Chains A and B, each alone.
Chain A
Amino acid sequence: MESALGLHRFHFAFTITFHYVFAQLSMGLALLIFLLKTLGLKRAEEHYQRAARFWIRIFAITFAVGVVTGIPMEFQFGTNWARFARAAGGVIGQTLAMEGVFAFFLESTFVGLLLFGEKRLSAKAHWAVSLLLWLGTWLSAYFILATNAWMQHPVGHRVLPGGEAQLESLWALLLNPWLGWMFLHNQFGTVVTAGFLMASIGAYYLLTGRQAAYGRTFLKTGVVAGGVASLLMLIPTGDMQVRNVERHQPATLAAMEGLFETMQGAPIAILGQPDMEKLRLDNPLLVPRMLSFLTYRRWMAEVKGLDAFPRDQWPDQIPLVYYSYHIMVGLGTMFIALSLVSLFKLWRRRLFASRRWLWVIMLAAPFPFIANTAGWMTAEMGRQPWLIYGLLRTSEGSSANVSGGNALFTLIGFMGMYAVLAILFLYLSCREIDHGPEPEAAGAKADD
């Protein structure tokens, strides 16, 4: 990691991972706030409006951190990855500019109205603002994922003799076969994060015996939204995403599954540690033939292992790719199990009273953040050694004119700055949670 390349990689990985903690929560909450506003409007109940107002306050803090940590992302293609920016700009410049023009303006304009405009707007108009804000945040994700999808599976371009890619078809770029399932998978992931957090805070209110009415609303909304999204993460989106990987990045699939040898009737590894010296899984716990079935729907289908690919096509961090993928899948399975039990209890009207289960729900909130991060680590490290799959190697993409020392300097700067932001975020959001939604009869909170 002392090399300039390693520092540039870690610089981007650190800043994007930190940013995405907040971005995923904003995107998921935007949908849930819209749902609460819809309930408030439909049932004409002030209760849901107040519940929405509470989450808008949490959203405001999250969104602020998401925005300020998102700005560096737009710059870093040029600052730390200039050779990549030059090679790819003719293509991904389109989607990044589209994000600015279509999504950022929408988000930032309507977040102002959502936060400050409730008294100046009618109930319906304020509801519409929450809808537009939700659309804006998800549209933003669409353009960013279109950019990423092109790096995973480049389409609709032509490469000039100098190595620069030029756009040939905007539609191909925006309708990349990689993009659709990835977008849905990613967005449902944000709903899991927000749903589990909402349920967790609801459980906390019920366990502490304060704000019980809101606790029930949050718990119910969170469990239903998080549960539905957890299921959709597996089928169809996760399943289809894996098939895309199999079709377009077979070496990545082998690394994710820890499959070193090509075989018919390949097993799936539940546990086990990749041993890069002996090229095998240590202490494996295997389900025979499952991988063949899941990938091809045939028990005896042949699945390519890492031995089918030359070494210079292997991801350079195979154990990490394998662990990230397994953590994501393991946690995803846990979310589905948790959700099914919670939904069953909700249906039998036992959810609000079972204290032990409320503890479980309360403590589950951090794990969707981990699962989403692990999923992205799988996607990004699985793509290695390519920065643009098949076109540009990561080692040929960083800024040759920015030395490792300078990259380390700014990396340390970002680490310090983000540590402060993380502390502030936790402090302020815990305060809001502790303060809770307005009591049923109170007026507006004095605030700027």
Chain B
Amino acid sequence: METMWFCLVAFMIAMYVILDGFDLGAGATHFCAARSEAERRQVIRSIGPVWDGNEVWLLAAGGTLYFAFPGLYASSFSGFYLPLMVVLWLLILRGAAIEFRSHIDNPVWKPFWDFVFTGSSALLAIFFGAALGNVVRGAPLDASGNYFLALWTDFRPGPEAGILDWYTLLAGLTAFLALAHHGALWVALKTEAPVSERARRVASLAWFGVLGMTLILTGVTFRVQPHVPERFALNPWGYVFPALALAGLLWSTLLRHRGRDGPAFLASCAYLAGMLASVAFGLYPYVLPSSSDPNLSLTIYNTAAGAYGLRVALFWWIPGMALVVFYTALVYRRWAGKVRLEEEGY
């Protein structure tokens, strides 16, 4: 039962990264792809009706994580106190930027919010990558499962590590490039030339970075967290996940060169899903490894909620999420096709 909820939480996080990932990426790159005010509006409109729903996946993933693994939620949210608060502030700024920019037509107002939007989107992508890096590297847990990490110490991923060290910064950079690539493909899919052509160029530049960083990060991860290579060595079938990621990445560039934006975007989704599944597979059954004593690590077993709670939740979670997937798909179909600027909202 614990394993099942581990997979479901991982699924929700992956959905969050894939969905909110494209609007973060679109935000982070929109200064490169869109130059004039009208062009920027195309980009914002391409995510306007959906970004809020995408962000809900983060909240729902957080809620599901809390209910299934309350011990993990309590330890990690208080231990990662400072970066989580920074993430919250960035989410607030970003939400404000998207919602407020359109209210006043003014040459000072809009560029200001565009700047906030880009900055917060880029920093969020970096912080989310660094967060994942922190989970993989582990935290200095004490016997009661508590710790508190500074934002940075000596930038080395040893037992004295802070949130930011060279490893987690590498992870942050990888996430930034991967989401920039992902978001640029989305913009290419949803907008008209010249925005879509510039977005394709951004995607092709980012693609090389993603490929390089993915390879480097994978190699480094195997050294920073030895549990990961052990897992893959014991269960070689797990290599399907990194294979999926690599195939997705290669396919996306092939499809992009043929001008098939939709399938290229889907291939990028497969890349992100493959990467996250690889991380989840590599960590299992850990959910937060200890960086000092492996026996203190948090696992799905010592953090899970009671058996009754886990069992009864399946009865509402599965129909509830099926409903969500159903109407999310419905809404995305409503907004299918290129952005049409002439049909305005309020």
Interface of A with B (CB < 8 Å)? Answer: 53, 56-57, 60-61, 64-65, 67-69, 71-72, 74-75, 77-80, 82-83, 85-86, 88-91, 93-94, 96-102, 104-105, 108-109, 111-113, 115-117, 119-120, 164, 166-168, 170, 399-403, 406, 410, 413, 417, 420-421, 424, 428, 431, 444-448
Contacts and interface: CB of A to CB of B under 8 A. Distances in A.
Given A112-B48, A117-B49, A413-B85, 12 more contacts: A71-B55, A75-B62, A78-B76, A85-B66, A85-B73, A86-B71, A89-B70, A89-B74, A97-B63, A167-B312, A399-B81, A410-B85
Interface of B: 41, 44-45, 48-50, 52-53, 55-56, 59-64, 66-68, 70-71, 73-79, 81-82, 84-85, 88-89, 91-93, 95-96, 99-105, 146-148, 305-306, 308-309, 312-313, 316-317, 320-321, 324, 327-328, 331, 334, 343-346
Nearest to B44: A448
A442 to B, nearest CB: 13
Q: Lowest 8 A-B CB distances belong to which pairs?
A: A89-B70, A78-B77, A93-B67, A448-B102, A100-B60, A166-B306, A100-B63, A82-B78
Given A90-B70, A105-B328, A448 B48 contact: yes
A417 B89 contact: yes
A123 to B, nearest CB: 16
Contacts of B55: 71, 108
A93 B304 CA distance: 11
B331 A85 contact: no
B344 A447 contact: yes
Nearest to A168: B308
Contacts of A119: 343
A401 to B, nearest CB: 4
A71 B59 contact: yes
A57 B316 contact: no
Contacts of B74: 78, 82-83, 85-86, 89
Most buried by A among B61, B66, B104, B324: B66
A132 B309 CA distance: 28
A61 B88 CA distance: 19
B78 A401 contact: yes
Contacts of B89: 413, 417
A321 B332 CA distance: 48
Contact of B309 (A60, A67, A167): A167
11 contacts: A75-B62, A75-B88, A80-B81, A82-B78, A100-B61, A104-B60, A109-B328, A400-B146, A401-B146, A447-B103, A448-B41
B91 A112 contact: no
Contacts of B63: 74, 93, 96-101
B49 A115 contact: yes
Contacts of B346: 53, 56-57, 60, 115, 445, 447
Nearest to B40: A448
A50 to B, nearest CB: 11
A446 to B, nearest CB: 6
B49 A113 contact: yes
Contact of B70 (A86, A399, A424): A86
Given A67-B52, A105-B56, A112-B331, A61 B305 contact: no
A98 B320 contact: yes
A167 B306 CA distance: 7
A424 B97 CA distance: 11
